[in-house]
């Protein structure tokens, strides 16, 4: 008999029909010669209840129906007398496809997140991780749908690259060289000419630079793929391997870029509410009681648009009013997460799009502002048209900017920052040949999933997290 997915079976009401389902046993209980099995096949958070009389089945087979075992069940779809489910299956035939003994690591309910990370190969079989990964899939679909419907082309940028887009030196090297026997020149520098690519290469930290090439040809593109950062940040918000969505658009200015960021995030959140209702309801009950309310709240909120300089003024006022921060916040400092959280969670209580950051704390490609900001009557240093979107509980979810389109100014930045010019010739060609105003942003996919699921740790929203000292599975 052809197998029916449990999500489809639960929608049917042709009671009396013969049906076959397959899945893994979540639990089995019995009373007075009748057994009840909760079977889950991953197609939905919901289980199918299987009911049968012990006397109709082989005793040895029934003993093999343990938590985690894999079953094929045939029977009759019937209306369920039990609350919380519309149908169940009266079993006529059960086959154990895979036994599961009591060494199964997901035996007990309520295991800690840390423990579940140590069994990341099996944790997708739990309710919570099933929900998280179904939502993750749906958010990927939301992203493709949003950009496709808005006329953006999905553009594939390389994962192996010779340039450091963010200039932060957080690259993982890619080499086939024998690390135990490295050839060096007279100055002690490693010779890369005989390496696989004939030069030093790394895993990309961002597809943006190649994305800009595409945007200045196709008009509007997005990339969506893995990104790698060798930053030694052991926080609940950082991964060494994460997924990033990077739209890049020709002829866009800063207000339009901010509109795009806000519209895009709201689209994704609305998509989750519309397509992942059952999983969200589960997470709302079990993981984060305020989740659905927070997601709905975002849809009805205008994000605050805030100059960095104004942000510093607010933070300094808070300090004068007695608020204690661990880190200083003078104009020119990079805001730390406690500052971002103060602005978003305490001062405005809304998402904040911050702009016009000091040039020196942002990447080389950002467009330089014409005017310098004034704080307390004093003129500050140069700023750039960067935009970070700061979210409650997450902090920075998006980083983006309008790009510097002037060849001369861009060269000036590259020289000032000692970025090796010969590696950048292809990028500079966009400014040399028909340069145009353009901009874009990068959204950390896992940070979006954190927000949408209410999970607390970024290691729990990607199937197999890569973090410092951890590359299991
Ligand atoms: O702010 P970032 O570094 O910006 C860029 O990479 C630009 N090239 C994007 C662009 O303009 N096209 O990173 C963008 C986003 C951050 O806002 C954050 O959400 C996420 O990527 N991110 C990380 N997520 C998880 N782990 C990390 N280590 C991350 N680093 C950045
Ligand atoms: Mg950033």
pLDDT tens digits along 393-438: 999 999 999 999 999 999 999 999 998 888 889 999 999 999 999 9
pLDDT over 70 percentage in the chain? 100
Average pLDDT over residues 375-380: 94
- Provide the pairing of β-strand 48-53 with 70-79: unpaired
How many A from CA of 400 to the centre of ligand 1?
9
Residue that the structure tokens 């890369």 belong to: 192
How many A from CA of 218 to the centre of ligand 2?
25
Report d(CA 194, CA 173) in Å as an integer.
15
Q: Is 441 in the pocket of ligand 1 (CB under 6 A)?
A: yes
Ligand nearest to the CA of 395: 1
Q: Where are the beta strands (DSSP E) in 32-150?
A: 34-40, 48-53, 70-79, 87-98
Structure confidence at residue 294 (pLDDT): 96
pTM of the predicted structure, to 2 decimals = 0.96
Ligand nearest to the CA of 168: 1
* Pair 257, 439: CB distance under 8 Å: yes
Structure confidence at residue 109 (pLDDT): 78
| Span 205-263, pLDDT tens digits | 999 999 999 999 999 999 999 999 998 889 999 999 999 999 999 999 999 999 999 99
Q: How far is CA 66 from CA 25, 28, 296, 361, 441, in A?
A: 7, 7, 40, 57, 49
Our mutation pick for probing the ligand 1 site, out of 211, 224, 344, 444, counting the most ligand atoms within 8 A of Cβ, is 444
- Quickly state the pLDDT bin for 168 (edges 50, 70, 90): confident
Which protein residue's CA is at the shortest distance from atom 7 of ligand 1?
Answer: 442
- Quickly state the pLDDT bin for 156 (edges 50, 70, 90): very high
How many A from CA of 396 to the centre of ligand 2?
7
């Amino acid at each position: 008999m052809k197998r029916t997915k449990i999500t489809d079976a639960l929608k049917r009401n042709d009671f009396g029909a013969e049906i076959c389902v397959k899945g893994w046993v979540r639990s089995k209980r019995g009373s007075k010669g009748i057994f009840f099995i909760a079977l889950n096949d991953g197609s939905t958070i919901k289980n199918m209840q299987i009911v049968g009389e012990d006397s109709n089945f082989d005793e040895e087979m029934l003993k093999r129906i343990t938590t985690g075992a894999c079953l094929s069940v045939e029977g009759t779809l019937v209306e369920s007398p039990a609350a919380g489910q519309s149908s169940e299956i009266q079993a006529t035939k059960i086959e154990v496809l895979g036994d599961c003994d009591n060494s199964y690591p997901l035996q007990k309910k309520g295991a800690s997140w840390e423990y579940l990370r140590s069994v990341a190969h099996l944790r997708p079989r739990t309710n919570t991780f099933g929900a998280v990964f179904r939502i993750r899939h749906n958010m990927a679909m939301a992203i493709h749908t949003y950009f496709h419907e808005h006329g953006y082309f999905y553009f594939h940028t390389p994962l192996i690259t010779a340039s450091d887009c963010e200039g932060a030196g957080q690259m993982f090297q890619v080499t086939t060289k024998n690390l135990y026997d490295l050839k060096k020149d007279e100055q002690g520098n490693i010779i890369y000419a005989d390496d696989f690519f004939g030069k030093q290469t790394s895993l990309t930290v961002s597809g943006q630079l190649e994305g800009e090439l595409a945007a200045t040809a196709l008009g509007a593109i997005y990339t969506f793929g893995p990104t790698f950062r060798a930053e030694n940040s052991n926080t609940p918000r950082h991964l060494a391997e994460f997924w990033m969505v990077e739209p890049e658009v020709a002829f866009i200015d800063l207000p339009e870029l901010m509109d795009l960021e806000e519209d895009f995030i709201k689209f994704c959140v609305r998509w989750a509410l519309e397509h992942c209702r059952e999983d969200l309801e589960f997470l709302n009950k079990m993981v984060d009681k305020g989740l659905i309310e927070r997601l709905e709240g975002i849809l009805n909120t205008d994000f605050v648009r805030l100059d960095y300089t104004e942000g510093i003024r607010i933070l300094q006022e808070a300090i004068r009013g007695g608020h204690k921060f661990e880190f200083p916040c003078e104009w020119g400092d990079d805001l730390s997460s406690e500052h971002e959280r103060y602005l978003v969670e305490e001062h405005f209580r809304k998402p904040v799009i911050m702009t016009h950051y000091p040039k020196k704390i942002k990447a080389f490609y950002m467009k330089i502002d014409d005017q310098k900001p004034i704080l307390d009557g004093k003129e500050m240093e140069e700023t750039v048209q960067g935009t970070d979107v700061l979210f409650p509980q997450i902090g920075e979810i998006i980083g983006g900017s309008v790009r510097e389109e002037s060849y001369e100014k861009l060269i000036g930045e590259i020289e000032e920052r000692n970025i090796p010019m010969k590696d950048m010739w292809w990028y500079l060609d966009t400014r040399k040949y028909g340069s145009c105003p353009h901009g874009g942003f990068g959204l950390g996919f896992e940070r979006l999933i954190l927000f949408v699921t209410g999970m607390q740790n970024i290691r729990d929203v990607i199937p197999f997290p890569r973090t410092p000292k951890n590359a299991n599975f």
